[in-house]
Structure 1
């Protein structure tokens, strides 16, 4: 429990830093500043809630990842969600309802979970679930979206509910983004970012980092464009190969060291932007944060998985509460075997040891 308590403090301090850094870029946006100042107090209450559970022997993660739909309007090259079968437009009967998602969101709020990252598929296809999330005011919901479906109605929803933070996916400049996501996507996203900025809605970008684009996506030229459009948060997501033929694109130790050093430089240059690396930052947090250590993943059908890149589960949110999921025998085995929370050399620990993960699930 000492390790968990230390992690809890580390994660809480990280939340404070993120809020502080976002605030730097919002002083010309009174509504957003007011929301974030209020949320600073909510964050402190959430920390006290998590510490209460910690004292009784129950570790509560800081955030969840919720894939709220199996459908997507794009067919991006190298999409892990389509490759592992989670993104499947034909399989809809077992999806969680908006009411079930609302119950999960409320459970997480009551436990003091500060963030719930909404993903998919394309999460904006589930407007009913997004509206449910909007009603849970004490949780911040970053929405990882391809951005194509952000229309006037969504702009109105985001403007009215500041706990919803759209995070738009890019691969770099126009050639790289359009190559992976489809012709015209890049220019559509630029238009959407301008609209978000005009409405003074805080938004971020999510960038898949590979061995080929790491220089471009961390360049001043590229980030100046994002900063000029009003982007406040940049998530660098390390590419996880779903096809052996693309393994050369996965960052290695050399690339991770570059990203670590480069992000430190960027934080000095762009003091109104927040830079987050995943899973790269985990090396500073005592290893992989999956399986409930820092987060777990809920797939569109309710299964509680250690991580989106490791789609294996022994419990479902249809039959279990979040607290019961956190006591999952499978999650406990992953932690006991130090597949999460053990030594960490970068990359996705569970994806790299898939055979052992499957063996633990079936043991």
Structure 2
């Protein structure tokens, strides 16, 4: 991966590639082709809105991460959401309602946001919110799911509304996935992928990269397996340690170089797929993209945070507009004081500069 890699442009080009491949398969699934062709136009319109905003001194990020629930049916080893107490099954949790999320999605669309990543907890537990997202066709909604809660109604939603794109979490093959996520999870996820492929539905995969699985998940065999299953996108997310005991799982310089090298080869070998490394691609895109530079995070209670790995907030979308939340004092301080651009050991800069971020919140 060369310096100057533009993540937003790569994603836009990737969507266009998927569109072209879908058009070739029109006889198999004309609905997918029609949707993706329309979305390509919407994506360019959104980019135009963002450019105009920038000319007026406002920055609208192309991405938004929305944790639509704090509930989850799994207890994955090393889960950052549970470690940050952002993932709780106990009531009352005061989560945003489906109508509140709907308002956020619509405003995001109007501002020019192209992608809203739905996360959790387990987002498929909030079918009410997913149904609202379905009705915003000019925004793509990747849904980061553990794949164990998917039912027939979900498949029907994914079939009818092609802007909903499930992204299934795996840790490698069966042994490593089940070790982290629980026995039988890999089999259930594989079955979900097989059904998605059979129904000509677009989906992706998300892999948490650790020192234990990096060679496996970056291998030609593993990527080939995902391609054969029908995955159109793969998100490689570097593991962020949640306790001192898990520091050894976080990729170091050696692993990051391997990830960078392997990604270059994979992108060349599978041009029909999209491969995103987080936060690796951020570093080569000119620094951390959090805190509104390229994206920000809204937690299940409405708090606007720089990033899921940096769960600090000084503003809530319940009390203000999405546009105003993007201008939060914390976000502006992180941008103005160049915290996002500072040199660091690699991985997540905000996680490594946790004390500095906390000081900015208290200011």
Name the TM tier (shorter chain).
over 0.9
Structure-2 separation of matches of 1:182 and 1:243: 20
Are 1:115 and 2:111 an aligned pair? no
Tell me, in whole angstroms, the C-alpha distance in 2 between the residues paired with 1:60 and 1:313: 19
Is 1:220 aligned to residue 220 of structure 2?
Answer: yes
- Per the alignment, residue 87 of structure 1 pairs with 87
User: Which residue does the alignment assign to 1:240?
Assistant: 240
Q: For residue 16 of structure 2, what is the aligned residue in structure 1?
A: 20
Report the Cα distance in structure 2 between the residues aligned to 1:96 and 1:139, rounded to whole angstroms.
20
Let me know the Cα RMSD of the aligned residues.
1.5
Deviation at 1:271, TM superposition (A): 2.5
1:315 partner SS:
coil
Task: Pick closer, same or farther for the CA change 1:136–1:344 going to 2, 3 Å.
Answer: farther
Counterpart contact for 2:314–2:328, Cα < 8 Å: yes
2:14–2:273 CA contact under 8 A, matched in 1 = no
Structure 1 equivalent of residue 187 of structure 2:
187
Consecutive unaligned residues of structure 1, counting only runs of 5 or more, are 1-6
Match of 1:53 in 2: 53
CA contact (8 A) 2:165 2:204 kept: yes
Contact 1:286–1:344 at 8 Å: present in 2 too?
no
Match of 1:3 in 2: none
Please, what TM-score do these two structures have when normalized by structure 1? 0.95
8 Å Cα contact 2:70/2:88 also seen in 1: yes
How far the C-alpha of 1:12 sits from its partner, in A, is: 4.7
Q: Which residue of 2 aligns with 1:254?
A: 254
Distance in 1, Cα, partners of 2:108 & 2:99? 14
Contact 1:70 1:120 in 2 (8 A): yes
Q: Alpha-carbon deviation of 1:145?
A: 0.2
2:361 is aligned with 1:361: yes
* SS of residue in 2 equivalent to 1:295: coil
SS in 1 for 2:356: helix
Distance change >3 Å, CA 115–CA 227, structure 1 → 2: same
Between the aligned partners of 1:156 and 1:145, the Cα distance in structure 2 is 17
Equivalent positions of 1:1-363 (< 5 A) are: 10=6, 12-23=8-19, 25-26=21-22, 27-28=24-25, 29-343=29-343, 346-363=346-363
Q: Distance in 1 between matches of 2:8 and 2:123?
A: 27
CA contact (8 A) 1:287 1:344 kept: no
Does the Cα contact within 8 Å between 2:141 and 2:165 map onto a contact in 1?
yes
**Which structure 2 residue ranges, 5 or more long, are not aligned?**
none
Aligned in 2, Cα 1:216/1:346: closer, same or farther, shift over 3 Å? same
Aligned residues: 356
Deviation at 1:302, TM superposition (A): 0.2
Tell me the alpha carbon deviations over residues 164-212 of structure 1, each in whole angstroms, 9 at most, x when there is no partner.
Answer: 0000000001010001111000011111101001111110000000111
CA distance in 1, matches of 2:109, 2:7: 17
Cα gap change, 1:172 to 1:100, in 2 (>3 Å): same
Q: Tell me by how many angstroms 1:16 deviates.
A: 2.2
Moved more, 33-42 or 184-193: 33-42
Shift of 1:93: 4.2
The answer to whether the 8 A contact 1:107-1:322 is kept is yes
Q: Deviations over 1:112-169 (max 9, x none)?
A: 0000000000000000000000001110000000011111110010000000000000
The Cα shift of 1:255 comes to 1.1
Provide Cα deviations, 1:220-277, integer angstroms capped at 9, x if missing partner: 2212221111111110000001011111111112211111110111122223221110
CA drift at 1:43: 0.9
Quick check: 1:289–1:341 contact (8 Å CA) kept in 2?
A: no
